[in-house]
Amino acid sequence: MQWLVKFLVCLAKLGILVGLSSKFLSRDESKGSSTTSFSHMPRTEGEILKNANLKNFSLSELKSATRNFRPDSVVGEGGFGCVFKGWIDEASFAPSKPGTGIVIAVKRLNQEGLQGHREWLAEINYLGQLDHPNLVKLVGYCLEEEHRLLVYEFMPRGSLENHLFRRGTFYQPLSWNTRVRMAQGAARGLAFLHNAQPQVIYRDFKASNILLDSNYNAKLSDFGLARDGPMGDKSHVSTRVMGTQGYAAPEYLATGHLSAKSDVYSFGVVLLELLSGRRAIDKNQPVGEHNLVDWARPYLTNKRRLLRVMDPRLQGQYSLTRALKIAVLALECISIDAKSRPTMNEIVEALEELHIQKEAPKEQQNPEISIDNNSNKIDNNSNNIDNNSNKSPPAVNYPRPSIMI
């Protein structure tokens, strides 16, 4: 009889565990209900948002445009797959001969399963509807069987990451004015997303996702992790933590609560990269300096201390007063308290005021730097890359895949 009682008790405990498991699973599902379920992911052109102004390319068309995805057409690669350079007719978008028509970048994804499809779909549904000078233009897409491809305007200068951190004859140091102009462009792109209806949270703002056109204008790319912002009076959306180490806001890492202020934090990290020429996370730096935010934070409110942060490749050719203003702005962006961070509209305004204001009377120069009293003028000769325009540029790093932190 005792064995029967024990058996019944075990069954009861098992029933409780199953019930609890079902409860928590259903709660997790309800938390993720704001995202599109995989069963409703589009698999044909007709299921893609009908107002997306995109061309549905066939796989054969993209093979022809890229010369059958030849290895010498590769301009970038990563965990997501490869990016190929191709050509299409400007009017009909039909494949054209190399050197004719318009240049395109064709991203061929090799990710399989739910997450790869979600990111492919997010690119189409956001970039297919959003249009702004500081967003990379998505020309079209291809979905045939297991093949998923995206077709973008070609960005000949590659990514900001390449120019800040790579060395070589093609990647000359970016001048101060060029860096400020890139920050302005990227800020305008983020502000546009945050002002959209519904609001769009980029979620993966980083140097490798900022691409540059032939005039070094910054454009945001790779919307695979973007999602709609909070609705109504809600302050955030709850989501699985994804992004890139070193750029994600601390409150997002801790709670999964995502808001526009999460993007602002990431923007502050990129501002620090522009100031310092250092990566957000760099294990090659001395002990205590691996994390850029933690290392730089104490030096951002004082001119003399700021010199320790500034990129030596600038060779002092900048206004220290203006550099300090950008450093203080970066410090506000990386505030631990999300509510204390400025909005992207406020950041755009601050950067534009910094750009147009007249230089104050010549300040006392530190012997380690020289102040550029004409720093408010765009330096069209700030890079020597144009002097090497006859050289074939190295393969550019198109956005690398984001990782779940």
What is the helix (H) or strand (E) element at residue 303, kind and residue range?
Answer: helix 303-306
Q: How many residues does the chain have?
A: 405
Neighbours of 31 (CB within 10 A): 14
**Residue of 117, 147, 130 lying closest to 56 (CA atoms):** 147
Any binding-site annotation on 107?
A: yes
- Collapsing DSSP to helix, strand or coil, 222 comes out as coil
Nearest to 211 by CA among 220, 202, 203: 220
How are strands ordered across the β-sheet holding 55-56? 55-56, 138-144, 147-153, 102-109, 81-88, 74-78
Q: Quote the tokens at residue 237.
A: 């959306």
Active site residues: 204
* Nearest-10 crossing angle of helices 320-333, 260-276: 150
Q: What is the CA radius of gyration of the chain?
A: 24
Residue 62, H or E segment: helix 59-65
Strand partners, 77: 82
Token digits of residue 112: 């399989």
- The total of other beta-carbon atoms located within 10 Å of residue 172's CB is 17
Annotated binding-site positions for ATP: 107
